[in-house]
Amino acid sequence: MKFEILVNSIELTHSHFQQQANKAVNVSLTLRNWLIGCYIVEFEQKGEDRAKYGDKLLVKLAKHCTAIKGMDERTFRNFRQFYLFYPQIQPLIVQQLQLNPIRRSLTTESGNEIKNEQLSIWGSLTTEFQLAEFQLKGEVIVQQLSYTHIEQLIRIDDNLKRTYYEIQCIKSSWSVRELKRQINSLYYERSGLSAKSELLSEIVKQKAETANPTDIVKSVYAFEFLGLKTKDAVEESDLETALLDHLQDFMMEMGHGFCFEARQKKILIGDEYFFIDLVFYHRILKCHVLVELKVEDFNHHNIGQLNTYVNYYKAKEMQTDDNPTVGILLVTNKNNALVEFATASMDNHLFVSKYLLELPKKEQLEAFINNELIKWNS
């Protein structure tokens, strides 16, 4: 046996079982989310004390489920919608519960312990399920789509339209970003209007971004489900991770009052999560400083995104005695670096000038990035 064959066999074996593990994580995550959605709906309909919580049920759940990462009102709302839109998954749930019943010891409000209580579903879930028109089998949905894909799909009310995107996503192995892009570009509607829908399909297929098998387990939902740090899921490359590691230290060593607050800070804007690379609080300026690093050429979307984060902090995070938040955008390609500041539409130019006296100068930040790139490429 040649040595190269041995290496190839090891790599193929690793790849095969890694994909199996990724799929297993996704299946468990997806089934968990559907079942939680089922519990919520059943409680809203038949819970003995449902009137006590009413419209604030999801808010109450978010406050009480703090032991589970990533659970907030939006998340629970999506779980509920997932359950309502995908009833064909219930036979898989029943099979899972028959094989591995969920048990734990519960304590009632009066202090009485209920041992080995199985979490039951008030409704009548069954392995027998009749597919409705325009529905893919539950097995197909769970095995072929990540929960992150499903989160995009449950925003579509029309069953036919949603199934169309499910099929296209599975057939073409679309990434989540590609699915979102196609929905926003009205691919379904354009396909119906196109005289040559096959030609449109071929054009879309050629330009589409496909999913990597490891993307499933690297989603934020999977990392939170497994109890891992989300920062490892959202940093896209070794270069980006290394730059952020060193940039964090660089900012702290500048001696200008930077106090580190968060890395890959998760914020919710509308119905979508975003992640801010680095968040500092500046004790001299008495304001937050947000830092975004983009390992790509400068484009207006970058500065627009940073401005959105700055305005979010202005609306949601600023205290009454805080000064306006400032953002720093660092953009890099293989040859050079560019730094831009976002100041949330500050009209007072003197105030902006005061900020720039305390913050690192553009030249310092650009020199830092360029030096890091030299180290990386050497």
Please report the DSSP string for 334-363 in residue order: SS-EEEEEE-TT---HHHHHHHHHHSPPHH
Tens-digit pLDDT string for the chain (378 aa): 687 887 888 888 888 887 888 888 889 999 999 999 999 998 888 876 777 777 789 988 988 888 888 888 889 999 999 999 999 999 888 888 776 666 655 555 555 555 555 556 655 676 677 777 778 999 999 999 999 999 999 999 999 999 999 998 998 888 888 898 888 888 888 777 655 556 556 666 666 666 666 665 556 666 677 666 655 555 555 667 777 777 777 877 766 688 888 888 888 887 778 889 889 998 888 889 898 888 777 777 888 888 889 889 988 898 888 888 888 888 876 566 777 777 655 554 445 566 666 777 778 888 878 877 777 666
DSSP secondary structure letters along 224-237:
HHTT--THHHH---
Separation between Cα atoms, residue 373 and residue 237, nearest integer Å: 14
Instruction: Tell me if 282 sits within 8 A of 256, measured CB to CB.
Output: yes
Q: For the chain, what are the domain ranges?
A: 3-215, 235-377
In CATH, what is the architecture of 235-377? 3-Layer(aba) Sandwich (3.40)
Question: Within a 13 Å sphere around the CA of 304, how many CA atoms are in the beta-carbon half?
Answer: 3
The residue to which tokens 């490892």 are assigned: 232
pTM above 0.85, yes or no: no
